[in-house]
């Protein structure tokens, strides 16, 4: 004997019922089969609504009943040929008349008892199972329809009755013995008490009906047919990559179904588990899909965690107080206070100091719980032994489920790491001693992010989604977008990173595309965006609450640099080639670094010094490994190196500077380069990275630029450069006369930093620096005689973009 149960969506329409009949007919050819049928999708809710309307004296209930009747009549007409429709149509009519009679009574009395509501709800399964039987008859598949109320005995607790398994088993086996056959059809959900009054087994109870039959008959298997291809690794509405779990243990299925995996009504498992009956979850709409097999001990698979579950709308109650420590009875009284109000406790956690106990309950019970617990502890609260109950709402539980977790260390570490790196605060944790379930209580608004992050961490060796917000699409920004577009496939394949640009902005507009914008079409996406308002952009980033989010600043804007703090505080990583934040007051630089650490995220700015060269990374490697930096000497301006390499006193100085700007080496404002400010910022950042609390004003900057060049606009600057051509010729010739070259050099030693133009003799490390190259010489305890030298292109959009790219990947890999 096998038992098959079909859920509401499986029988929602005549077309669906036809699929069910195909499956049932094929099953009955293999083995004696008992079929349990749920109400047509949406019917139970409609019946409850009709009953409530009637009780409230609202005549609308008649309309609801008419709609239900026509829905069932229509299905019957589609399922059964006209010539043999009359019996099923009159059966539907009879049931509907009886239902209407009951509702009329409710209307007259103005009262709907739980007993009557059970009666009203029972018509959904009665009608649906009769339709399936009629469809089988029409296809000439031999079968017997029987009313479950004559077979399943419960107590009289209406709404969620308790099954009397002894009597039920006897009745079912007597019935099958008395009426042998190949195929039985019964309604799910309904049962009867000892007096024959209709009872119900709780919402989702048709699964339970099927398990009760399977258990009573010692079935070879139980199949629950639904609209998904099995239990999923996570809720597919939250995690698009969730996939069916092929095999799972009863215990794991129970954990997952308790925590939100709606494909199985939790009590279903017990009757089959006690006899080791295999339970299959199959898809009516894809019957050849494997589905999920729930069994005693499924083979281990590659995943330590079998599935993730979540439940929302929770509240956390915390009872705290010094008076609780070491005194027995507090928890007993807390739970009694909750039990008195019939409040179900979903999760419990107590600190080992015994100073606090927290329990998670459904939010709808929060007010009653607070009242009851505060009453219970009124005396202790009055004398200050405990605090009034602390209540937090808008919470949810996200849990890892898997029996295999007990054999592996580091699972909780991975869970906390993944959530922590994404700014998901864990309010409470619970892990049963069997280690099958690790539950975390988090903010409801973080559930989607949390469950996706955990799914990536535990199931998707294939892909981690990275969400970028790129601000600035000028020289460097546009190159970065080009590089990202080129590398997307590589990153996916080699690094398992799905890098998407979900936000883009320039100084005028911003565009958000939560599913990632097409990188080749970014100018259009931006043109169609909204006017830029930075606080609104930051708010939108927070509101999206996307996992593995990285804010990429490719501007030279002080306003943009101002928002880093607000982002880091929400664990959004910041990658910046903009130097303004790191060169601002020391406290701001230090605060941003501290925020990144505090909120488990990254603040990366490698390109602030030497563009794409690994300068800051190398410096940090030296320091972390215990080396001491005694002196730094460096050529840090690509622009100035380019200018003094190309200027020979013949071509105007202004023209060479303009060329540097056109080639993309200068700052958006080239005066920052020519005045030495850009180099001063860079040596300041290097000094700070070594641990020096230096400020910009403390950097000694000997400018070679006449004062008038710094007055007015950028065009005035170029005019003034031309005016002072002789000055620049003089600088060049003085150096050339000694066989030397001009280099703008930065120096840091003994807590002091300076920048300025120097004449460099042949043989010096800086003498032969080409084009726009930079060179950084680190003199350290380990590199005492010969410095550690980093040399190469120190400016240019392509190399800078690749440095930003590298920082993004660092942030992405965590």
Ligand X SMILES: N[C@@H](CC=O)C(=O)O
Least Å distance, CB 753 to ligand X, is 17
CB contact at 8 A, 358 and 349: yes
Minimum separation from the CB atom of position 532 to ligand NDP (A): 6
Task: Choose the binding region for ligand X from 56-64, 385-393, 479-487, 663-671 (rule: CB under 6 A).
Answer: 663-671
Question: Which residue, 259 or 551, is less far from ligand NDP as judged by CB?
Answer: 551
Q: How far apart are CA 307 and CA 292, in angstroms?
A: 12
Residue with smaller CB distance to ligand NDP, 215 or 664: 664
- Which of these is catalytic: 5, 682, 741, 743? 682
Closest CA to 40 of 78, 69, 11, 5: 11
Residue 559 engages ligand NDP in binding (rule: CB under 6 A): yes
List Cβ neighbours of 624 (8 Å cut-off, separation of 6 or more): none
CA pair distance 317, 361, nearest whole angstrom: 8
Q: Does 690 bind ligand X (CB under 6 A)?
A: no
The rounded distance, in Å, linking the Cα atoms of 448 and 443 is 10
> CB-wise, 234 or 511, nearer to ligand NDP?
511
Site string for ligand NDP, 783-812 (x = CB under 6 A): ------------xxx--x------------
637 makes contact, choosing from ligand X, ligand NDP, none, with CB < 5 to 8 Å by partner type, with: ligand X
- 773 near ligand X (CB under 6 A): no
A 10 A CB-CB count for 625 gives 8
- Render the burial of 373-382: b for 16+ CB within 10 Å, e for the rest: bbebbeebbe
Is 665 a residue that touches ligand X (CB under 6 A)? yes
Find the binder of ligand NDP among 357, 415, 554, 634 (CB under 6 A): 554
Instruction: Select the residue whose beta carbon is closest to ligand NDP and give its number.
Output: 474
CA 39 to chain centre: 34
User: Is 235 a binder of ligand X (CB under 6 A)?
Assistant: no
Q: Rule CB under 6 A: choose which of 64, 158, 579, 688 binds ligand NDP.
A: 579
DSSP one-letter code for 110: T
- Closest-CB residue for ligand X? 639
Q: CA-to-CA distance for 499 and 496, rounded, in angstroms?
A: 9
CB 228 within 8 A of CB 263: yes
Question: What's the rounded Cα separation, in Å, for the pair 140 and 146?
Answer: 18
Of residues 360, 471, 686, 776, which one binds ligand NDP by CB under 6 A?
471
Among 79, 441, 611, 683, binds ligand NDP (CB under 6 A): 611
639 contact, one of ligand NDP, ligand X, none, CB 5-8 Å limit per kind: ligand X
Asked about 682 being catalytic, the answer comes back as yes
Q: What is the DSSP letter of 491?
A: I
The reply to whether 507 sits near ligand NDP by the rule CB under 6 A is yes
Considering only 239, 277, 476, 481, the residue that binds ligand NDP (CB under 6 A) is 476
Structure tokens at 523: 């100018």
Among 535, 536, 512, 514, residue whose Cα is nearest residue 525: 512
DSSP 29-78: HHS-EEEEEPPSTTHHHHHHHHHHHHHTT-THHHHHHHHHHHHHHHHHHH
Spatial distance between the Cα atoms of 765 and 776, rounded to a whole number of angstroms: 10
Q: Which does 51 bind (CB under 5 to 8 A by kind): ligand X, ligand NDP, none?
A: none
Classify each residue of 799-811 as buried b or exposed e, where b means 16 or more C-beta atoms within 10 Å of its C-beta.
bbbbbbbbbbbbb
Residue whose CB is less far from ligand NDP, 459 or 605: 605
Quote the radius of gyration of the chain (alpha carbons, Å): 37
Q: Which residues of 698-710 are buried (b: 16+ CB within 10 A; e: fewer)?
A: bbebebbbeeebe
Picked from ligand NDP, ligand X, none, the partner binding residue 260 (CB below 5 to 8 A depending on kind) is none
Site string for ligand X, 582-621 (x = CB under 6 A): -----------------------------x----------
Site string for ligand NDP, 646-665 (x = CB under 6 A): ------------------xx
Which region among 31-39, 503-511, 625-633, 644-652 touches ligand NDP (by CB under 6 A)? 503-511
| Binding at 471: pick from ligand X, ligand NDP, none (beta carbon under 5-8 Å per type) | ligand NDP
Binding residues (CB under 6 A) for ligand NDP: these are 471-477, 505-508, 532, 554-557, 559-560, 577-579, 607, 611, 638, 664-665, 667-668, 795-797, 800
Q: What amino acid positions are annotated as catalytic residues?
A: 682
Binding residues (CB under 6 A) for ligand X: these are 611, 637-639, 665-667, 673, 678, 794-795
């Amino acid at each position: 004997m096998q038992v098959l149960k079909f859920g509401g969506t499986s029988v929602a329409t005549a077309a669906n019922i036809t699929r069910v009949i195909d499956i049932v007919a094929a099953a009955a050819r293999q083995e004696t089969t008992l079929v349990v049928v749920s109400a047509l999708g949406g019917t139970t809710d409609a019946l409850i609504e009709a009953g409530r309307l009637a009780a409230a004296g609202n005549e609308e209930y008649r309309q609801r009943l008419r709609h239900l009747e026509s829905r069932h009549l229509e299905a019957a007409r589609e399922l059964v040929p006209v010539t043999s429709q009359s019996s099923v149509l009159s059966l539907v009519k009879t049931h509907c008349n009886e239902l209407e009679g009951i509702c009329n009574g409710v209307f007259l009395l103005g009262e709907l008892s739980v007993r009557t509501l059970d009666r009203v709800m029972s018509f959904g399964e009665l009608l649906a199972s009769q339709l399936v039987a009629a469809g089988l008859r029409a296809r000439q598949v031999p079968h017997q329809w029987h009313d479950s109320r004559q077979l399943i005995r419960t107590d009289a607790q209406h709404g969620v009755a308790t099954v009397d398994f002894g009597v039920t088993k006897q009745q079912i086996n007597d019935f099958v013995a008395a009426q042998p056959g190949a195929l039985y059809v019964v309604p799910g959900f309904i049962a009867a008490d000892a007096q024959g009054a209709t009872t119900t087994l709780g919402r989702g109870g048709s699964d339970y009906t099927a398990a009760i039959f399977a258990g009573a008959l010692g079935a070879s298997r139980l199949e629950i047919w639904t609209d998904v291809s099995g239990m999923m690794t996570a809720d597919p509405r939250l995690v698009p990559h969730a996939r069916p779990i092929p095999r799972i243990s009863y215990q794991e299925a129970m954990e997952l179904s308790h925590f939100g995996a709606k494909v199985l009504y939790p009590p279903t498992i017990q009757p089959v588990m006690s006899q080791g009956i295999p339970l299959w979850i199959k898809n009516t709409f894809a019957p050849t899909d494997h589905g999920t097999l729930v069994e005693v001990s499924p083979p281990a698979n590659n995943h330590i965690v079998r599935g993730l579950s979540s439940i929302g709308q929770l509240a956390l109650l915390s009872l705290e107080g010094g008076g609780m420590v070491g005194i027995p009875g507090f928890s007993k009284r807390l739970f009694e206070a909750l039990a008195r109000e019939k409040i179900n406790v979903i999760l419990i956690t107590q600190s080992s100091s015994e100073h606090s106990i927290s329990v998670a309950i459904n939010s709808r019970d929060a007010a009653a719980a607070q009242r009851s617990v505060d009453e219970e502890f009124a005396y202790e609260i009055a004398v200050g032994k405990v605090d009034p109950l602390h209540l937090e709402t808008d919470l949810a539980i996200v849990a890892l489920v898997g029996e295999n977790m007990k054999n592996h260390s580091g699972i909780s570490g991975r869970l906390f790491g993944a959530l922590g790196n994404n700014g998901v605060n864990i309010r409470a944790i619970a892990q049963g001693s069997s280690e099958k379930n690790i539950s975390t209580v988090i903010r409801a608004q973080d559930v989607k992010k949390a469950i996706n992050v955990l799914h990536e961490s535990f199931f998707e060796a294939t892909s981690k989604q990275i969400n970028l917000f790129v601000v600035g699409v000028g020289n460097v920004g546009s190159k970065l977008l080009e590089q990202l577009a080129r590398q997307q496939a590589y990153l996916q394949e080699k690094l398992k990173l799905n890098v998407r640009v979900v936000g883009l902005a320039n100084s005028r507009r911003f565009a958000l595309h939560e599913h990632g914008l097409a990188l080749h079409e970014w100018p259009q996406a931006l043109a169609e965006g909204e006017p830029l308002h930075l606080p609104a952009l930051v708010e939108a980033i927070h509101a999206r609450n996307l996992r593995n989010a990285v804010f990429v600043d490719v501007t030279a804007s002080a306003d943009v640099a101002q928002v880093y703090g607000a982002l880091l505080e929400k664990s959004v990583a910041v990658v910046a080639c903009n130097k303004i934040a790191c060169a601002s007051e020391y406290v701001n630089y230090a605060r941003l670094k501290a925020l990144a650490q505090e909120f488990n995220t990254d603040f990366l700015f490698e390109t602030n010094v030497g563009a794409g060269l690994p300068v800051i990374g190398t410096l940090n490697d030296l320091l972390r490994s215990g080396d001491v930096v005694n002196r730094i000497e460096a050529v840090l301006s690509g622009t100035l190196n380019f200018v003094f390499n190309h200027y020979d006193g013949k071509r105007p100085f202004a023209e060479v500077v303009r060329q540097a700007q056109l080639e993309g080496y200068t700052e958006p404002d080239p005066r920052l380069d020519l005045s030495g400010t850009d180099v001063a910022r860079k040596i300041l950042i290097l000094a700070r990275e070594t641990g020096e609390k230096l400020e910009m004003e403390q950097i000694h900057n000997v400018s070679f630029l006449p004062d008038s060049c710094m007055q007015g606009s950028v065009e005035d600057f170029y005019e003034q450069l031309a005016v002072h051509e002789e000055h620049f010729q003089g600088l060049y010739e003085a150096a050339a006369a000694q066989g030397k070259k001009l280099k703008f050099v930065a120096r840091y030693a003994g807590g002091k930093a300076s920048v300025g133009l120097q004449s460099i003799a042949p043989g010096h490390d800086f003498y032969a620096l080409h084009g726009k190259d930079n060179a950084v010489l680190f003199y350290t305890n380990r590199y005492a005689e010969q410095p550690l030298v980093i040399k190469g292109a120190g400016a240019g959009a392509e190399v800078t973009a690749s440095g930003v790219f590298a920082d993004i990947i660092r942030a992405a890999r965590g």
